[in-house]
Amino acid sequence: MATIKDVAKRAGVAVSTASYALNGIQKVSPATVEKVQKAARELNYQKNGFASDLKRTRTNTIALILSDLSGPYYSELIKGVQEVTSANGYDLIACSSIGGELSTATKFLKEKRVDGAIILAHNISDSLIKSSARKDFPIVVLDREIDSDSVLEVQVDNVHGGYLATEYLIEKGHRNIAYVSGPYNSHDNEKRFEGYKAAMMDHEVSYQSRLKISGDFTRESGYRATKMLIAQQNLPDAVFYANDEMAIGGLQAFSERKIKVPDDISVLGFDDIQLSEYVAPPLTTIRQPKYEAGALAVHLIFQLLAGEKAERHYSLSTELIERKSVKG
């Protein structure tokens, strides 16, 4: 892709002159403007979004990039981000990363169309985040670990959450415990599974690979994964779903087959979304501080924009919420 330097070289002018000509700044002659525009057409040069090639000005806008804007998990997170952003006189743009490297979210990062970004989207690559982040364009990630001075991490202690969930099921007398996972490339899912296996090992309960079923954090995938478990005709004692949406899908699948929760099988989720309290039976789950994670992420963005220092890694705790979906 051609850069402003390439256009300037083709037109035989300075980079600053090329920028003035392409941005309509009346500091160059009409003949020079025509020469620069011709070079830009020949090179198929695309202007860099709303940013200037020479000096980027503040937009007073923060971007929140999510895998999917429709999930119920995100409402509390967005609320935390929005309230802190508004209190600081900034606007918030929330966008989906659907489309990966071709998404609008990717353009915001590459073209610096905002002043900073908060990312919870496993399909935005580490390499893109690292190449986009800089001192005057800070990024906070919520779902991974990245070694970069301009990238901060706010994470929930997913390992402990996974351990807590599994240990609770074991203490209730369960030994055959299935795990319905999130996407294979999700950092959060990987850590929850790590906690699950650690608890099984510590309590000398054998891990069975047949009891790990893949999902993708959606209600539909939880429903499908549960139907696969049922089809094995050898139900486990309990199922730990990597998030509440999948657990709710699982409750539906069990209900359709007249399998009673928790009498016939125990179910435990992760997140504590609002709906989990109102399903039948109310869902026992691991609560993570969604609002707090969003609010903290924005605070960190503002600290860095103000030229202040901040710790690179923050870990937030989880807690078990007991309701009615686990027997014992």
Mean pLDDT of successive 10-residue stretches along the chain, which has 328 residues? 76 74 70 88 66 58 89 86 91 88 82 91 89 92 89 95 98 98 92 98 95 95 97 94 98 98 98 95 96 92 88 93 96
**Per-residue confidence (pLDDT) for residue 48, from 0 to 100:** 47
Q: Which of 179, 155, 120, 167 is nearest to 288 (CA)?
A: 155
**Per-residue confidence (pLDDT) for residue 47, from 0 to 100:** 56
**Per-residue confidence (pLDDT) for residue 50, from 0 to 100:** 38
1 is written with which tokens? 């892709």
**Per-residue confidence (pLDDT) for residue 111, from 0 to 100:** 85
Provide long-range contacts, Cβ within 8 A and 24+ apart, for 84-93. 84/294, 84/295, 84/298, 84/299, 84/302, 85/298, 88/298, 88/302, 89/60, 90/60, 90/61, 90/62, 90/115, 91/60, 91/61, 91/62, 92/61, 92/62, 92/63, 92/64, 93/61, 93/62, 93/63, 93/64
Distance CA 39, CA 189 (A): 49
**Per-residue confidence (pLDDT) for residue 15, from 0 to 100:** 62
Cβ atoms of 50 and 59 closer than 8 Å? yes
**Per-residue confidence (pLDDT) for residue 160, from 0 to 100:** 98
> How much of the chain is helix, strand and coil, in % rounded to 5?
45, 15, 40
**Per-residue confidence (pLDDT) for residue 107, from 0 to 100:** 83
Buried b (16+ CB within 10 A) or exposed e, 212-222: ebbbbbbbebb
- pTM of this prediction exceeds 0.85: no
**Per-residue confidence (pLDDT) for residue 199, from 0 to 100:** 98
**Per-residue confidence (pLDDT) for residue 19, from 0 to 100:** 66
**Per-residue confidence (pLDDT) for residue 55, from 0 to 100:** 43
Pairing of strands 238-241, 266-271: parallel
**Per-residue confidence (pLDDT) for residue 272, from 0 to 100:** 96
